[in-house]
Amino acid sequence: MKNTNSKWLKSLLVLSFVFALSSFNTKAQTSDSLYKPEREFKNTIRFNVTNPLIFGGKSLIFGYERILKNNRSFSINIGQAALPNFENGFSDEFREKTVLSQGGFHISGDYRFYLSKLNKYGAPRGVYIGPYYSYNRFSKGQDWQYTDEDSNTKNINSDLSLKIHQVGLELGYQFVFWKRFSVDLILMGPGVASYKVKASAEGNLTDSERELFFEKLNQALKDKFPGYSGTLGENADGEFEKTGAQSTTSIGYRYMINLGYRF
C-alpha cells in the first residue's frame, strides 16, 4: 500500500512538472507572437560639417534623406553658401582689407543604392552608390590693397560672381549609432562641372597690375575648387580689361561628411 501511494505521489510530481513546463512554453510562445518588430526610422535630417570647415562658418547646409523600398533612398540638401577668405590675400602684393558684401546658395540631391551584398544591415547603413546633382552660387565684393615692388600702395575694389553646376556619380558609406544617429561619408564623387565666373577690378591699376590681380584670383579659385580652370580678365583680343567673365566645363569632385538624426 505504501509502495502504491509512493508511486502515485511520484507520478503526480512528474505530471505537475510537465504541466509547469508546458505552461511556461505556452506563455513564451504567446509573448513571441505578440512581439513587435523594431521600429523603422525611414527619415534622416542632417548637417553638412565639411562646408564650414572649407568655406567658413557662413556656409550652412542642411539635408534630408528618405528611405525607399529595395534598399534605396533619395536625399536633398539646401542652405546658404559663402566664398572663403583667401588666406588674407592672394600673395604679398594683394592683401584683403574689407568684405563689402557676401552671399551664396547651395542645393543638391542624390539617389542612392545601398549594396545589400556588401552590407550586413539594410538602408541607410553601409556602402552606397548613386547619381547626384549640385548647384552652387557665390558672390563677394571686397576692398584690397596692392603693394608694388617699390612699396607703393593702391586700393582695389573687386566684385566676384561664381556659379557651378555639377553632375556625377558618388560612392559613400553611412554609419548608424544607437539607432538614431548617423555619420554619412561621401568618399568619392567624380563628375562634370560647369563653372561660370565673372569678376571686376576697379582702381588705379596698370594693365599689367590688373592682369596680375586676375591671375592671382584664378589661382585662388583653383585652390578652393578642384577642377576649376579659367582665364579671368582676358577679352577676345587677348588683352586684359577691368571686367572678366569665363565659362568652362571640367572635371568636378564631391566629398563631404554629414551628421544626422533619424526619425
Task: Tell me the longest C-alpha to C-alpha distance in the chain.
Answer: 128
54-74 tens-digit pLDDT: 888 889 999 999 999 999 999
Enter the DSSP assignment of 35: P
125-158 tens-digit pLDDT: 999 999 999 999 999 999 998 888 888 898 989 9
Is residue 207 pLDDT above 90, yes or no?
A: no
DSSP strands (E only) in 81-152: 94-114, 126-147
220: left (phi over 0), alpha (psi -120 to 50) or beta: alpha
Give the residue among 46, 110, 55, 101 at the shortest CA–CA distance from 80: 55
Are residues 129 and 161 in contact, defined by beta-carbon separation less than 8 angstroms? no
Are residues 73 and 41 in contact, defined by beta-carbon separation less than 8 angstroms? no
Give the residue among 160, 132, 164, 148 at the shortest CA–CA distance from 63: 132
Model-level pTM? 0.77
Are residues 230 and 224 in contact, defined by beta-carbon separation less than 8 angstroms? no
